[in-house]
Chains A and B, each alone.
Chain A
């Protein structure tokens, strides 16, 4: 049977759900032999909103962004290491901005035909749908989406 995808993209962000998605995507790429794109997105948009709303002060914003960058580097190193061990062809990238926008742009620019995401929230309100990046990507992605439940 022909495998219906040739470029998998996994979105991760340092959360447990993102780590689940990354591990699953590495296994899926290993089993199917297709290329894996692993993109960690630093949600600078959310940090900007927290600053604007006075929840963060500027020094705190810089501190958290620095921590997210370190985390992104650490987790992409992990992805590269596991990919090498499994013989998976992998491209890792660290993006910044609103995750749903960064990921959609990446899908269009790189011919992605399967997006792997971590678990989505239990929807409790319309607002939850709007504010969860995974939920938004699930609904707006221009390619098929695979959700990795916890």
Chain B
């Protein structure tokens, strides 16, 4: 399973409208109509309360294990105005990673792939400036 396989253009939101973690998580999670948005957002926020997943570069990766999922899914939201996601710097790009309960290996692999992709400064800048889903898919492929 690769990051590319977990992404699709229907799960990319640009621009995010919300100005706080809860609002933007609702925007991103609701892209997948098969999910119980309230429940998933609550789970993600509980995890964020233990420590923000903002990486110190304006990118956050909120993630959770969700019972009933078949495979790892990745959704992306980009905020034109950096916002407070609880980390050390303001956040522009949010990856929501949801994984089945028993898939620790795949979950770690996808989180690691996102971290690796975002370790290149030019990738981070390109994501922050992306204005279409196609651009995001191109940057991450």
Residues of A within 8 A of B (CB): 13-18, 43, 46-47, 49-50, 53-57, 59-60, 64, 67-68, 71, 121-122, 124, 127, 130-131
B80 at the interface (CB under 8 A from A): no
- What are the interface flags for B84-106 relative to A under an 8 Å C-beta threshold, 1 for contact and 0 otherwise? 00010000000000000010111
Q: Are B50 and A55 in contact (CB under 8 A)?
A: no
The tally of residues in B whose CB lies under 8 Å from a CB in A reads: 29
Complex-state Cα separation, A131 to B104, whole angstroms: 18
Q: Are A50 and B115 in contact (CB under 8 A)?
A: yes
B105 / chain A contacts, CB cutoff of 8 Å: 13-15, 18, 43, 68, 71
Q: Please pick, from B4, B50, B54, B104, the residue contacting A68 in the complex, using a CB distance under 8 A.
A: B104
**A121/B63 contact (C-beta < 8 A), A15-B105, A54-B55, A131-B113 known:** no
Chain B residues within CB distance 8 Å of chain A: 1-2, 4, 47, 50-56, 61, 63, 87, 102, 104-109, 111-113, 115-117, 120, 141
Query: Residue on B with the closest CB to A46?
Result: B112
Given A55-B55, A55-B61, answer yes or no on A49-B107 (Cβ-Cβ < 8 Å): no
* B102 cross-chain contacts in A, Cβ below 8 A: 67, 71
Asked if A57 meets B1 with Cβ closer than 8 Å, knowing A47-B108, A49-B112, A68-B104, the reply is: no
Nearest residue, chain B, Cβ from A57: B51
A-B interface pairs (CB < 8 A), number: 69
User: Is the pair B104, A71 in contact by a Cβ cutoff of 8 Å?
Assistant: yes
Measured between alpha carbons, how far is A131 from B89 in the docked complex, in Å?
Answer: 26
A18 and B47 CA atoms in complex are apart in Å by 30
Across-interface contacts of A67 in B (CB, < 8 A): 102, 104
Say yes or no: A121 contacts B2, CB within 8 Å: yes
**CA of A43 to CA of B109 in the docked complex: distance in angstroms?**
9
Is the CB–CB distance between B104 and A64 below 8 Å? Answer: yes
Can you list 14 contacts pairing A with B, beta carbon distance less than 8 Å? A15-B105, A16-B1, A46-B109, A49-B112, A50-B108, A50-B112, A55-B55, A55-B61, A55-B115, A56-B111, A67-B102, A121-B2, A124-B4, A130-B116
